[in-house]
Chain A
Amino acid sequence: MYVAVKGGEAAIANAHRLLADRRRGDRSLPSITIEQIVAQLGLAVDRVMAEASLYDRAIAALAIRQSCGDLIEAIFILRAYRTTLPRFGYSVPLETADMQVERRVSATYKDLPGGQLLGPTFDYTHRLLDPSLLHDAPVDEALQREGGQEPIMRVTDILADEDLMEDDGTLPEGHVPGDLTREPLEFPMARDLRLQALARGDEGFLLSLGYSTQRGYARSHPFVGEIRIGEVDVELDLPELGFAVSLGRIRITECQMINQFKGSAKSPPQFTRGYGLVFGQSERKAMAMSLVDRALRASEFDEDVVAPAQDEEFVISHSDNVQATGFVEHLKLPHYVDFQAELDLVRRMRREYEAGRGDKTDSDIPEAAE
């Protein structure tokens, strides 16, 4: 028998009204604006865009405000929003080599064309609280220096002539890029689909998996060949005109991880690569993504699959934080009937257990609802 139970409408409406009140908080303080969130909490906006897999700063900032700063909730809201929009098409693939670079570092070459450009980084800060930020003190403009016009070559092209570096990943001729927003996931999957899943994967989950490979669970001897952050053009083909036009620019972070590889029956010793590409400024995520991308390529290189980070189905099935939060958080919704059934079962098992031991059963068991 299935018993439908109604109720709670008033409680839900009042709870949402209470949430709106708490979100606004102290009315004597000015309300935070979308423009302020975009301009001053930009990396939170970037994270929401990356993991929602939807690039729109203003809408991501709105979602952050709506979620009171709960970023996974904001990501969830953006995922819901995107389902309301039609798909215009697929862009021309981004040219990360033509990026308007705002940061570029390499851990493998000290002197390289374009140089080491630190950009706006937290690296080398002392992570000490800055009391000057307690107040709205004036902030110096950034310094400027002439002579930044040198082309910034891709680090992975430097060794390409020697054939010591694996080339950019190719897929069989005629392969259509998989799209997990269109088709259900099936394992095993091609690297392109894996990268799409990783690009929207939870930063914390990928960070921990990447860390696990460094600690010995699928060690891959990684070096950061290059991290670059900056803006690239998004171009869309216009069939009615027969050419592709730029729709504007987006900021992205790219990580080229280079991994030592001692060779296999199929391949000579050379450097192999893991790739990370993420919306916004997020090099932690791009680095973690490139470590996990490389770990997931184990079978390509005849490596033993012995660690969680190498297990494609495990990694890809659990990397999406909207799916994860949905399934974990659904546990708090009413399970009254399920629990009653479980309670009956446990009582019966307990009776059988007690009977088997010859003990007396306690007939005075309280009901769950009491």
Chain B
Amino acid sequence: MASDGQQPLPGTGPERRRQAMGVLAKATRLELEQVWNALPQRPEAVPVRGPETGLVMVRGRIGGGGAPFNLGEVTATRASVRLEGGTVGHGQSLGTDGEKARLAAIFDALLQLPEHAPAVERLLSQVSARIEAEDAQRIRETAATRVDFFTMVRGDD
């Protein structure tokens, strides 16, 4: 979450990169593949680490906001790549899809390069729009199950 409420310019700053990585993690592999395959020039990406699948121990908090405790593990997959010019990108997401993590790492690296950043930004807004639409639909579906209480007026007094 952006705590300061200020959004840096697209493609700059660690906060922008952090947000972008979060969106890439929620992208489907298909979304990443389609944009990658449509790039006019795909730079060479050398694997630095992975893709490797492992576990993250998820923590909760006692009572929701108290001391942390270990809830259970999730599968996660991560990858790091280096582009021709030396730019390093990291990709990580829930699940076991190594190719998705590798593509996310490439896009993370591309976002740091001014000539490629606009294409990555388009991908990010496309994925964000899909997630927002899904969330909005879920909110509306949940809202339809909201209980509207009404009071029965008794006529005998």
Contacts and interface: CB of A to CB of B under 8 A. Distances in A.
B121 interface: no
A88 interface: yes
A144 B55 contact: no
- Can you list the 9 inter-chain pairs with the closest CB atoms, starting with the nearest? A148-B143, A168-B63, A168-B66, A169-B62, A246-B22, A192-B69, A144-B140, A53-B72, A248-B94
Contacts of B137: 144
Interface stretch (B4-12, B37-45, B145-153): B145-153
B69 A247 contact: no
Interface residues of B, number: 53
B55 A279 contact: no
14 contacts: A49-B72, A59-B75, A90-B57, A93-B61, A156-B63, A169-B62, A177-B69, A179-B70, A192-B68, A195-B60, A196-B72, A199-B60, A238-B92, A248-B95
Nearest to A147: B143
B70 A196 contact: yes
Interface in A69-96: 82, 85-94, 96
Contact of A89 (B14, B53, B56, B62): B56
Contact of B71 (A147, A178, A196, A245): A196
Given A193-B69, A256-B64, A142 B141 contact: yes
Contact of A200 (B21, B72, B141): B72
B64 A254 contact: yes
A232 B28 CA distance: 18
Interface string A342-356: 000000000000000
A4 B28 CA distance: 54
Contacts of A145: 140, 143-144, 146
Contact of B76 (A93, A247, A252): A247
**Interface size, A (range):** 35 or more
A248 B131 CA distance: 11
A115 B147 contact: yes
Contact of A245 (B25, B143, B146): B25
Contacts of A273: 63
A117 interface: yes
B66 to A, nearest CB: 3
A103 B139 CA distance: 10
A96 B63 CA distance: 10
B140 A192 contact: no
Contact of B90 (A193, A241, A242): A241
Nearest to A142: B141
Interface of A: 49-50, 53-56, 58-59, 82, 85-94, 96-98, 100-103, 110-111, 115-121, 142-149, 154, 156, 167-171, 175, 177-181, 191-193, 195-196, 199-200, 233-234, 236, 238, 240-250, 252, 254, 256, 273, 275, 277, 279
A240 B108 CA distance: 14
Contact of A91 (B1, B56, B64, B149): B56
Contacts of B147: 115-118
